[in-house]
Structure 1
Amino acid sequence: MAKEVESGQVDSVFHIGDISYATGFLVEWDYFLSLIQPVASHVTYMTAIGNHERDYINSGSVYITPDSGGECGVAYEAYFPMPTSAKDKPWYSINQAGIHFTVISTEHPWTENSEQYEWIGNDLASVDRSKTPWVIFTGHRPMYSSYPGNVDGRFTDALEPLLLKEKVDLALWGHVHNYERTCAVFQKDCKAMPTKGGDGIDTYDNTNYTAPVHVVIGTAGFKLDKFSENQIYDGWSLSRHTEFGYIRGHATKEELKIEFVISNTGTVGDSFVINKGKKQQSSWSKKLLPDKSLKDILGEIKL
């Protein structure tokens, strides 16, 4: 990712939770901040909060675990001040070029009528699609994962209808330490499948919107969660990888291109396109460094 940033073709990086795994040891934060300096000192570095920043007993987190080592989000908010409305309300949205990013906290209450739920509904409803035609929804814990024990059905039941109602194009998640991409899915039912473009890339047609595409990108530096060789996967799971990497993306008004880059080789492990409006054949660079048209990057240093 540092090489990508050096190319000058990167606008921003998104790191979706479990930032440093310091879990109460301040020196780990110092070490991590030093590691990301070649990236974070040159481009916008946006973050979401995860269980290893926030969760602790009697902290008010949704999940009562010792995962933050007693940090309870304090260190995270000090090191990564995001454009939130108030302290310990780590949800926000930003517009970058043609993309509206909605960033939530999966660790704070998200049930119907909660403060965050109301904010999410209002934020998504307020998007001006003439200015930002793409909506990308991000949070730490996923709504879809084939890896056992990592999806909270209550979370999916509460928020998935909002994503469908407001026509979210892409949902990005961490928490599970692998890569997995879905069809255009709602309530575990594929509402639309991608087709192969002229270049062989999976292409989702959003000229007639059906449902969001979900991608888990938890492949950034902690231990990996391997998929089972004998598992039979649900039809919504289209692509799976257990390798360290990140995703990079480029958006025009009519096309959103995403690549999963395998870090140690620079090769592309998975790629897909979401189209709306005029259809066009996508062109892809198979090198680590993007061509000069690649202006946005989505990714994580460490989940």
Structure 2
Amino acid sequence: MGKAPLDPSVEHYIQPGSLSVIKAVTDEVKSGNVDSIFHIGDISYATGFLVEWDFFLHLISPMASQVSYMTAIGINHCINLFRDYIGSGSVYITPDSGGECGVPYETYFPMPTPAKDKPWYSIEQGSIHFTVISTENDWTENSEQYEWMTKDMGSVDRSKTPWLIFTGHRPMYSSSTNRLFDLDDRFSKAVEPLLLQHKVDLALFGHVHNYERTCSVYQSNCLAMPTKDRNGVDTYDHSNYSAPVQAVIGMAGFSLTKFSKPGSWSLTRISDFGYLRGHATKEDINLEFVNANTRQVQDSFRITKRQNR
């Protein structure tokens, strides 16, 4: 029997917003203004069913066939250290796929990682150095990944590549904490000091299915607040660096998550389907949350830095 054709007009049963996001981002790619796409975890929600990979790959092909489609390993539903069963070595145990899903992930998305089962890497594009980690592998102090993070971020020549963006799946900050999205204080305690030490400009995370942006935050304290520019856009001045800006951008398809009581570090919270669009020069990074259904910008922020001449 032949394989039934995939129908992208059918709303996905567990990712109700995925089609609107796919259509919006595909239009962005068609405009010719997109250099790359970053998808930081929760890649396909295949949960052990190969047909879900087929459906997902079919959906992203109009984008991934035109620009680089970079991924970060994420925990639940699709991948977990290439296996998700007890005793596998994963930091977190989620038996969603019975240990299967990492095999197609590694095959379909070969990232520039150090080796098999070491799904962390860095890449430079224009004026930005991206440090992409695995929140599912050991990130504790003195672990292999921890040492790699320290070396990678410490080796960036900020005179040539002024911006450092750190990405991983599980966030350090979220106002949507519940049993599914519980934050891991151990992760923040181990890794957040590295972000401050190496002057990370922006930390991007997924996992929680909404959008949230912080102040310049460290250990839950706002060390600096943005100011409004002439267009009313929140602007973080990193010429006098204080701490990273952090953002959760997990609003690309799965059922959206409500917010609970926000922390004092939380500046913007949006529970709509969409994506984060960014453009960088050596002097600034401009970022916008775009609503996938309306194509309207619902949040804008900017990070600036004066360059030494």
Same fold (TM over 0.5): yes
Distance in 1, matches of 2:98 and 2:289, equals 31
Residue equivalent to 1:105? 134
Structure 1: unaligned runs, 5 residues or longer: 279-303
Q: Does 1:38 align with 2:62?
A: yes
* One-letter amino acid of the counterpart of residue 41, structure 2: G
Distance in 1, matches of 2:169 and 2:96, equals 14
Matches within 5 A, 1:1-303: 1-52=25-76, 53-54=79-80, 55-71=84-100, 73-149=102-178, 150=181, 151-228=183-260, 231=261, 233-277=262-306
CA contact (8 A) 2:48 2:101 kept: no
Distance in 2, matches of 1:214 and 1:257, equals 14
- CA, structure 1 residues 244+34, in 2 after alignment: closer, same or farther (shift >3 Å)? same
Once the two structures are superposed, residues 97-120 of structure 1 have per-residue CA deviations (whole angstroms, 9 ceiling, x without a partner) of 000000000000000011000000
Which 4+ runs in 1 deviate beyond 6 A? none
Q: Measure how far apart 1:7 and its partner are.
A: 0.5
CA contact (8 A) 1:261 1:267 kept: yes
Distance in 1, matches of 2:187 and 2:96, equals 19
Identity over the aligned pairs, expressed in percent?
A: 70
Q: Measure how far apart 1:69 and its partner are.
A: 3.6
CA contact (8 A) 2:122 2:152 kept: yes
* One-letter amino acid of the counterpart of residue 192, structure 1: A
Residue equivalent to 1:293? none
- Which range moves more in the overlay, 26-35 or 269-278? 269-278
* One-letter amino acid of the counterpart of residue 73, structure 2: I
Distance in 2, matches of 1:56 and 1:189, equals 37
Residue equivalent to 2:18? none
Q: Measure how far apart 1:57 and its partner are.
A: 2.2
Partner SS for 1:250: strand
Distance in 2, matches of 1:78 and 1:124, equals 27
CA contact (8 A) 1:139 1:174 kept: yes
Partner SS for 2:148: helix
TM-score by length of 1: 0.89
CA contact (8 A) 1:73 1:88 kept: no
Q: Measure how far apart 1:70 and its partner are.
A: 1.7
Distance in 2, matches of 1:241 and 1:37, equals 28
Distance in 2, matches of 1:167 and 1:148, equals 27
Once the two structures are superposed, residues 54-109 of structure 1 have per-residue CA deviations (whole angstroms, 9 ceiling, x without a partner) of 14322211002213442262221111000001001000000000000000000000
Partner SS for 2:248: strand
Matched residue pairs, number? 275
Distance in 1, matches of 2:203 and 2:97, equals 25
